[in-house]
Structure 1
Amino acid sequence: MATPYQRQARETPAYAWWKLPVVGLLTVVFYLGLTIVLVVAGATYLAIKGGGTTVEDWLDATGDLDLAHLDFFVLDLLGLAILTPALLLAVLVVGPRPVGYFSSVAGRLRWGWLARTAAISFTVFIVTIGASVAIDAANGEDVDIGTGDRGHMVLAIVLVLLVVPFQAAAEEYVFRGYVLQLVGSWTRFAAIPVIVSVPIFVAGHAYELWGLVDVGIFGLTAAILVIRTGGLEAAIAAHVANNVVLFVLDALGTISASDDTGATAIDVLPTVVSSVVLLVWIEWSARRHGIQRTREPLPVPPPPQAPMWPPPPWGLPQDVAPWLLVPQHAPQQVQQPPVPPRAPAPPLHPGTPPYPGEIDPDWGR
């Protein structure tokens, strides 16, 4: 049976129960090391820039994601983006497979599929979030568009476009990549890692009730997209599109992307609609374009070779006649049943790395 994304770590000869937990511990260690580097770099930048802004000011504002302070905004997002190298470095150290299999069942990040799902995701979120803003304006709420400092506004949008994709991708590699494959190595039921990943993702956000519900709906949608498409590309595209649209509107002064004060159940509706549309549209696109959703099963290990009886003459001492060593009731050589031929696997992309067991027919024994 073909291997789905969340089972790739489990269904390999190199699997060991301790490897993915150790990957998690090493990720924390590497992340702390990279965070120290980032803090030193940020402190150096703030000292050179001057203006009275200190590292303490930055650390006090951590998590606010306020576009009024672009320095803090970029440093905060970079603090999340470094999760990706921390995780992939831990996988390189521990294994059990090429790090590309954290990206998809094809063993790499499928850039064409990422671009296609990004186009779908931006279309969906621009329409749904834009419609929500338009409805608010029609109901008499004050909706400002581009009434602030133009220079600051343009710089904010440029920084959002440059940094947000790395932040969103990092969260997907951790919450949908690592968590799904960790829990997926414990169970064959795809629903369990999907459900487990949602509260962990929600716990990483400091919002009020309806803001957390909104995050949970998106987290559930992203996890389903990963399972249904066999990789992180669709989830990364959806995450990037959602955050970019929200932060661009924040830069324009239309909404506050990180402030959910006073949110109600009706504010979750755009996320519900966008999630349903994304699931249906991306599922249709994956079927239409033949996106690989599972990994071909590992090669069947060769059957053990039966011992030859009687042993060949060249395996005996030269001064002993072979017929003297043959017992009267020597067992007959056991005939192994023929192994049925496997159906040929569909061709993979030339850049697909080998899966454990494909190079060595004996699985490294």
Structure 2
Amino acid sequence: MRWWVPVVLTLVVVAATYLLQLLLLGAAALVEVGMFGKDPADTSLTPLTYVAKDLSIILLAPLTLVVLARAARVPWRSALRATGQFRWRRLGAYLGLFAVLMVAVNLALQLVHPSPLSLFAVSGTTVALLVMVLLTTPLQAGAEEVVFRGVLTASYASWVRAARPAAVVGIIGSSTLFAVLHTSADPWMIVNYLGLGASTAVMALLGRGLEAPIAFHVMNNVFSMGIGALFADGGGIGQDRGAGSAGPYMLLFLLAEVVAVLLVWWIERRRST
């Protein structure tokens, strides 16, 4: 891969991320404010803005794959797996495994940082949000894995010839951009985004494909957004990422990421022997 290809890919991802969010979330906000009278200062995610947010990320994947294929002159399938073949059964197995892990993590979270029961409510908005979480969040999480782990990790790694240093460069580069584009001002959230990016990149290397990282990212986001919808007092999902919005309890998610990496290492090692 030529040295400038990762630069082009980075510029495309950054520009498309902000442009798609501006267009889709802006259009959704105009509809809600103009037609439904939503307070313009309310930034919570309703079913419409939730779909707009997810769609802006989902569209990144095909766009990035097209740029990769044209600029690097490689098959777009190379971003999905070393052999170019996606393993659906393996994805399903990892989805089940990581669902159990997320249940355990979120139960532990309720012990150290419980959600206020007064905020638990099920309204029509809640049901619609839960449907959207189940329908679009897996695609959104999968798209992020294709872009950041499938395309960008490998592209940054191409700057270094030696395999291990190349892997380190790829992981650091893609994880840093992943965290930056989530635009959080809270240090605990930033560390968690870095951890999520690095851990899923390691999973992709261990499994020689995106099945494990996609499964983990999907379960992480589905549980997070699903719980967020249930504890939103019947309204939209809050998305506060400002300073002080998180705390040390985020270490539980970092622990889950470490456990997930160890599980993938153990499973893939058994499969190769």
TM-score band by shorter chain is 0.7 to 0.9
In the alignment, what sits opposite 1:268?
250
After superposition, the CA RMSD in angstroms is 3.2
CA contact (8 A) 2:91 2:212 kept: yes
- The match for 2:75 is 98
Task: From the two aligned structures, give the one with the greater helix fraction.
Answer: 2
| Matched residue, 2:194 | 216
> How much has 1:144 moved relative to structure 2?
4.8
For the residue of structure 2 that corresponds to 1:148, the secondary structure is: coil
Distance 1:133 1:193, change over 3 A: same
Matched letter for residue 134 of structure 1: L
Q: How far apart, CA to CA, are the structure 1 residues paired with 2:67 and 2:87?
A: 22
Find the counterpart in structure 2 of residue 85 from structure 1.
Answer: 62
**Deviation digits for residues 89-114 of structure 1, max 9, x if unmatched?**
21232342211110110213221221
- Report SS of the residue matched to 2:240: coil
Matches within 5 A, 1:274-313: 274-290=256-272
Q: In 2 relative to 1, CA 116–149 (structure 1 residues): closer, same or farther, beyond 3 Å?
A: closer
User: Residue 239 of structure 2 corresponds to which residue in structure 1?
Assistant: 258
SS in 2 for 1:97: coil
The answer for the alignment partner of 2:125 in structure 1 is: 152
When residues 72 and 95 of structure 1 are mapped into structure 2, their CA distance, relative to the original with a 3 A threshold, is same
**Paired residues of 2:17 and 2:57 also in contact (CA < 8 A):** no
Counterpart in 1 of 2:103?
126
Give the Cα separation in 1 of the matches to 2:238 and 2:123: 19
Is 2:197 aligned against 1:231? no
Q: Output the CA distance in 2 between the equivalents of 1:90 and 1:158.
A: 32
8 Å contact from structure 1 (residues 143, 254) kept in 2: no
Over the matched positions of the two proteins, sequence identity in percent amounts to 27
Q: What stretches of structure 2 of length at least 5 have no aligned partner?
A: none
Q: For the structure 1 residues 192 and 36, does the alpha-carbon distance in structure 2 shift closer, same or farther, using more than 3 Å as the test?
A: closer
Q: CA deviation at 1:83?
A: 0.7
Normalising by the residue count of structure 2, what TM-score does the alignment of the two structures yield?
Answer: 0.81
Q: Secondary structure of the equivalent of 1:50?
A: helix
| 2:48 matched residue in structure 1 | 71
- Secondary structure of 2:36's counterpart equals coil
Look up the equivalent residue of 1:158 and give its one-letter code. V
The C-alpha deviation readout for 1:192-235, integer Å capped at 9, x for no partner, is: 22123222221112321111112222222111111211122211
| Distance in 1 (alpha carbons) for counterparts of 2:16 and 2:192 | 30
Aligned residue pairs total 262
2:6–2:155 Cα contact (<8 Å) kept: yes
Letter in 2 for 1:229: G
